[in-house]
Structure 1
Amino acid sequence: MSRRGRRAVLPPTDFTAEPPLAANGLVVTIVNKAGHGKDFAFSDLPVPEPMQRSLATVFAAQQGRWTSHYSATAAWNRLKVFADFVSGLETLPDDLTGLDAAALKRWRLQNISTNTGRTTLRVVHRMLRDDPRLSEGPVAEELARRVPAPKPVRKSYDEEEREHVLLAAGRQFRAAWLRIRENSELLERWRAGALDEGSHDWRLGEALDHVARVGDVPRTHLPSGRQAITNRGLLGGRDIEHTWGRLFLTPSELTALAVLLTDRFGWNLSVYDRMPAPTRAPSVAESTNVTYHVTVEKRRAGNGRWFSTENITDSGAGSPGRLITQALQATLHGRLLAAQMMPGTDLLMTARVVRQKGGRRDMDRPPAVGPLVFGVSGVDGKSWAIEHKLSGSPFRQIRRTTVTREGKPLQHTQGTHESVYVLPDQKVRQASQQIFEDGALEALDQAQKIFFGGHLAQGPDPAHGQTATADCADETTTPWPAQDGGCGADFLLCLACPNAHVHPGHHPRLALLHEHIQGLRSAMPEERWNQRWYAHWQRLDDLAEKVGRPSWAAARVRASDTDRTLVDLLLKGQLAS
Structure 2
Amino acid sequence: MSGRGRKAALPPAGHRSEPPLAPDGLVVTFTDKAGAKNEYDFAELPLSRPAQRSLATAFAAQSRGWTSNLTAQACWSRTGVFARFLSELDNPPDDLDGLSVAVLQSWRDANINTNTGRSRLNTVRGLLQRDPRLSAGPVAEELARRIPGATPSKQSYGQDERDQVMLAAQREFRSARLRISENTRLLERWQAGDVAEGSRDWKIGAVLDHIARTGDVPRTLRPSGQKAVTNYKLLGGSSTEKTWGRLFLTSGELTALAVLLTDRFGWNLSLYGRMPVPTTAPSAGERASVTYQVQVEKRRAGRGRWFSTENITDSGADSPGRLITQALEATAHGRALANRLAPGKDLLMVARAHQSGREYPDLDRPAPIRPLSFGVSDHMAKTWARNNGLPGSPFRRARRTTVTSEGRPLQHAQGTHESVYVLPDQHVQQSSRTIFEAGAHEALAHARAAVFGGQVTDKPDPEHEPTATVDCEDEDSSPWPDPSGGCRADFLLCLACPNAHVHPGHHPRLALLHQQILSLRSVMDDHTFHTRWNDHLLRLENLRDKVGPAAWKTAFARDDDTDRAVVQLLLKEDLAP
Mark yes or no: TM-score above 0.5: yes
**Displacement of 1:426:** 2.3
Given residue 369 of structure 1, which amino acid in structure 2 is its aligned partner? I
**Displacement of 1:569:** 6.6
Q: Deviation per CA, 1:315-350, whole angstroms, max 9, x where unpaired?
A: 110111110111000000111111111111121101
Q: Deviation per CA, 1:235-291, whole angstroms, max 9, x where unpaired?
A: 111111111111000000000000000111111111110111112213566431111
> Does 1:126 find its partner at 2:151?
no
C-alpha separation in 2, matches of 1:468 and 1:139: 71
Residue number in structure 1 paired with 2:507 = 507
Residue number in structure 1 paired with 2:309 = 309
C-alpha separation in 2, matches of 1:542 and 1:507: 13
- Aligned with 2:393: secondary structure? coil
Q: Deviation per CA, 1:275-311, whole angstroms, max 9, x where unpaired?
A: 1111221356643111112111122222222221111
CA contact (8 A) 2:353 2:370 kept: no
Which of 349-358 and 160-169 deviates more?
Answer: 349-358
- Aligned with 1:61: secondary structure? helix
C-alpha separation in 2, matches of 1:519 and 1:4: 61
C-alpha separation in 1, matches of 2:97 and 2:521: 69
Q: 1:199 to 1:128 in 2, by over 3 A?
A: same
> Does 1:332 find its partner at 2:341?
no
Which of 359-368 and 561-570 deviates more?
Answer: 561-570
C-alpha separation in 2, matches of 1:568 and 1:136: 66
Q: 1:39 to 1:574 in 2, by over 3 A?
A: closer
C-alpha separation in 1, matches of 2:523 and 2:415: 43
**Displacement of 1:486:** 8.4
Q: TM-score, normalised by structure 2?
A: 0.92
C-alpha separation in 2, matches of 1:102 and 1:76: 24
After superposition, where does 1:562-573 map in structure 2 within 5 Å? 563=563, 567=567
**Displacement of 1:100:** 1.2
C-alpha separation in 1, matches of 2:45 and 2:549: 72
- Aligned with 1:174: secondary structure? helix
> Does 1:149 find its partner at 2:149?
yes
C-alpha separation in 1, matches of 2:76 and 2:477: 73
Q: Deviation per CA, 1:184-218, whole angstroms, max 9, x where unpaired?
A: 01111111111111112111111111111111112
Residue number in structure 2 paired with 1:201 = 201
- Aligned with 1:38: secondary structure? strand
Q: 1:113 to 1:537 in 2, by over 3 A?
A: same
CA contact (8 A) 1:450 1:539 kept: yes
After superposition, where does 1:245-256 map in structure 2 within 5 Å? 245-256=245-256
Which of 140-149 and 222-231 deviates more?
Answer: 222-231
**Displacement of 1:531:** 4.3
Residue number in structure 2 paired with 1:288 = 288
- Aligned with 1:288: secondary structure? coil
Structure 1: give runs of 5+ residues left out of the alignment.
Answer: none
CA contact (8 A) 1:3 1:304 kept: no
Q: 1:133 to 1:554 in 2, by over 3 A?
A: same
Residue number in structure 2 paired with 1:49 = 49
C-alpha separation in 1, matches of 2:521 and 2:307: 53
C-alpha separation in 2, matches of 1:18 and 1:529: 67
Residue number in structure 1 paired with 2:24 = 24
**Displacement of 1:403:** 0.9
**Displacement of 1:183:** 0.6
- Aligned with 2:312: secondary structure? strand
After superposition, where does 1:144-293 map in structure 2 within 5 Å? 144-283=144-283, 286-293=286-293
Q: 1:568 to 1:310 in 2, by over 3 A?
A: closer
RMSD: 2.9
- Aligned with 2:47: secondary structure? coil
Residue number in structure 2 paired with 1:371 = 371
**Displacement of 1:98:** 2.0
Q: 1:192 to 1:8 in 2, by over 3 A?
A: closer
Which of 8-17 and 271-280 deviates more?
Answer: 8-17
CA contact (8 A) 1:259 1:394 kept: yes
After superposition, where does 1:321-360 map in structure 2 within 5 Å? 321-360=321-360
CA contact (8 A) 1:156 1:400 kept: yes
CA contact (8 A) 1:78 1:124 kept: yes
**Displacement of 1:471:** 4.8
Residue number in structure 2 paired with 1:419 = 419
Q: Deviation per CA, 1:128-165, whole angstroms, max 9, x where unpaired?
A: 11111112222111111111112343311111111111
**Displacement of 1:62:** 0.5
Which of 518-527 and 206-215 deviates more?
Answer: 518-527
After superposition, where does 1:377-456 map in structure 2 within 5 Å? 377-454=377-454, 456=456
CA contact (8 A) 1:99 1:139 kept: yes
C-alpha separation in 1, matches of 2:524 and 2:364: 68
Between Structure 1 and Structure 2, how many residues are aligned? 577
- Aligned with 1:280: secondary structure? strand
CA contact (8 A) 2:176 2:249 kept: yes
Residue number in structure 1 paired with 2:91 = 91
Residue number in structure 2 paired with 1:140 = 140
After superposition, where does 1:31-46 map in structure 2 within 5 Å? 31-46=31-46
C-alpha separation in 2, matches of 1:435 and 1:62: 45
CA contact (8 A) 1:29 1:40 kept: yes
**Displacement of 1:430:** 2.4
- Aligned with 2:296: secondary structure? strand
Which of 219-228 and 198-207 deviates more?
Answer: 219-228
Given residue 82 of structure 1, which amino acid in structure 2 is its aligned partner? F
CA contact (8 A) 1:152 1:426 kept: no
C-alpha separation in 2, matches of 1:496 and 1:171: 64
- Aligned with 2:311: secondary structure? strand
Q: TM-score, normalised by structure 1?
A: 0.92
> Does 1:69 find its partner at 2:69?
yes
C-alpha separation in 2, matches of 1:246 and 1:305: 40
Q: 1:513 to 1:323 in 2, by over 3 A?
A: same
C-alpha separation in 1, matches of 2:346 and 2:523: 71
- Aligned with 1:291: secondary structure? strand
Q: 1:559 to 1:147 in 2, by over 3 A?
A: same
CA contact (8 A) 1:154 1:424 kept: no
**Displacement of 1:96:** 1.7
**Displacement of 1:397:** 0.6
CA contact (8 A) 1:275 1:349 kept: yes
- Aligned with 2:228: secondary structure? strand
C-alpha separation in 1, matches of 2:361 and 2:526: 69
C-alpha separation in 2, matches of 1:106 and 1:475: 75
Q: 1:453 to 1:118 in 2, by over 3 A?
A: farther
Given residue 291 of structure 1, which amino acid in structure 2 is its aligned partner? T
Which of 371-380 and 550-559 deviates more?
Answer: 550-559
Residue number in structure 1 paired with 2:115 = 115
**Displacement of 1:46:** 1.9
CA contact (8 A) 1:156 1:397 kept: yes
C-alpha separation in 1, matches of 2:529 and 2:93: 75
C-alpha separation in 1, matches of 2:46 and 2:271: 37
Q: Deviation per CA, 1:88-119, whole angstroms, max 9, x where unpaired?
A: 21222222222211111111111111121112
CA contact (8 A) 2:362 2:377 kept: no
C-alpha separation in 1, matches of 2:403 and 2:161: 16
C-alpha separation in 2, matches of 1:486 and 1:80: 85
Q: Deviation per CA, 1:12-63, whole angstroms, max 9, x where unpaired?
A: 4533322222222221111111122211111222222221222112111101
**Displacement of 1:419:** 2.2
CA contact (8 A) 1:153 1:426 kept: no
Q: Deviation per CA, 1:462-507, whole angstroms, max 9, x where unpaired?
A: 8977654335678898655677998765442232245645332211
Q: 1:476 to 1:100 in 2, by over 3 A?
A: farther
C-alpha separation in 2, matches of 1:359 and 1:523: 76
- Aligned with 1:109: secondary structure? helix
- Aligned with 2:193: secondary structure? coil
Given residue 106 of structure 1, which amino acid in structure 2 is its aligned partner? S
> Does 1:58 find its partner at 2:62?
no
